Amino acid sequence: MTAIRLQAASSPGRRPALTSVLASGPFGLLVGLVVWEVLGQTQGYTFLPPASRVVMRLIDLVASGRIVPSLTVSLSNLLFGFAISLIVGIALGLGMGASRRFGAALDPYVNALLTAPSLVFAPIFFSIWGIGRESIIALIVTYSMFVVIVNTSAAVRAVSPDLQEMSRAFDSTQAQAFRWVTLPAAAPLIFAGIRVAAARAVKGMINGEMFIALVGLGKMIQDAQHQLDATTVIAVLWIVVSVALLVMALIDRIDRRVNGWLPSTERNP
């Protein structure tokens, strides 16, 4: 009887552990790769080579030295373009959120450029700068900067007026209230916009390299498409996705450090 009670008491503890494993990211990724491999091996789709073949092609691209130069070019374009987007976007967003007149003056232009298809600006940049990294960087900025502006402006405007009134009760100046009250309160939403902008920046990088300058990872994808080489296309796409995930992980780490003072809302399993 005691053994039965111990077993009944211990079984609920094992079920959540098993459920957490089944719901984990690595397990879901493994299941997806297995399904992909089975479909690729059995169905023979030309657009869906087996996952094992894609892995072997990726290893071959790395071993042959074709990936590293292209990846270096793409990362440098992404770094410059995204840095410009953050600096200009956060500065304009803070100004638009803090000043109603400034925000009302720029809102129509920012929203229009945000909703417009960013790729249509590629011919304009090409006509201005020609085939070069300047056109790619400009396209990356177009893809990502306006998201930063809109989210930063909305984050500043969403700060509770009660917090600002409390700072005035302590005789703080307007600059001090903005620095020590408004910015910390708006930081979580600002970082949410930065995450979205980072994903769009990677898209802008690939589109610029494919349709403007034919350099970096975009050139490798374009060349593989012309040769109808789906295996190479997917292998390079894996690298592009990995770059995006690494950028997002870096932003999340900075977010946790900057906003570490906030109370955690995660529930313990």
Just give the CATH number of 72-219.
1.10.3720.10
Q: How far apart are CA 141 and CA 83, in angstroms?
A: 9
pLDDT exceeds 50 at position 17: yes
pLDDT exceeds 90 at position 25: no
Token readout for 185 is 């309160």
Q: How far apart are CA 93 and CA 98, in angstroms?
A: 8
- What does the pLDDT average to over 167-186? 78
Query: In this predicted structure, which of 15-29, 89-103, 136-150, 175-189 has the lowest mean pLDDT?
Result: 15-29
pLDDT band at 39 (very low <50, low <70, confident <90, very high): confident
Structure-token match 């590293």, residue found = 68
Structure-token match 């090409």, residue found = 126
Q: Please report, for residues 35, 141, 172, 215, 253, the alpha-carbon distance to residue 239 in angstroms, rounded to integers and kept in the order given.
A: 21, 21, 49, 15, 21
Angle between helix 216-226 and helix 230-258 axes, rounded to 10 deg = 150
- What does the pLDDT average to over 108-118? 90
Residue 81 and residue 247 in contact, taking contact as beta carbons nearer than 8 Å: no
Q: How far apart are CA 74 and CA 214, in angstroms?
A: 11
**Residues 6 or more apart from 46 whose CB is under 8 A from it?**
228, 230
pTM as predicted: 0.81
pLDDT band at 2 (very low <50, low <70, confident <90, very high): very low
For the chain, domain boundaries = 72-219
pLDDT exceeds 50 at position 268: no
pLDDT band at 171 (very low <50, low <70, confident <90, very high): low
Q: How far apart are CA 156 and CA 141, in angstroms?
A: 22
pLDDT of residue 251: 92
pLDDT of residue 31: 74
pLDDT, tens digit (0-9, with 9 covering 90-100), for 118-137: 888 888 888 888 888 889 99
pLDDT, tens digit (0-9, with 9 covering 90-100), for 192-232: 999 999 999 999 999 988 888 788 888 888 888 888 888 88
pLDDT exceeds 50 at position 9: no
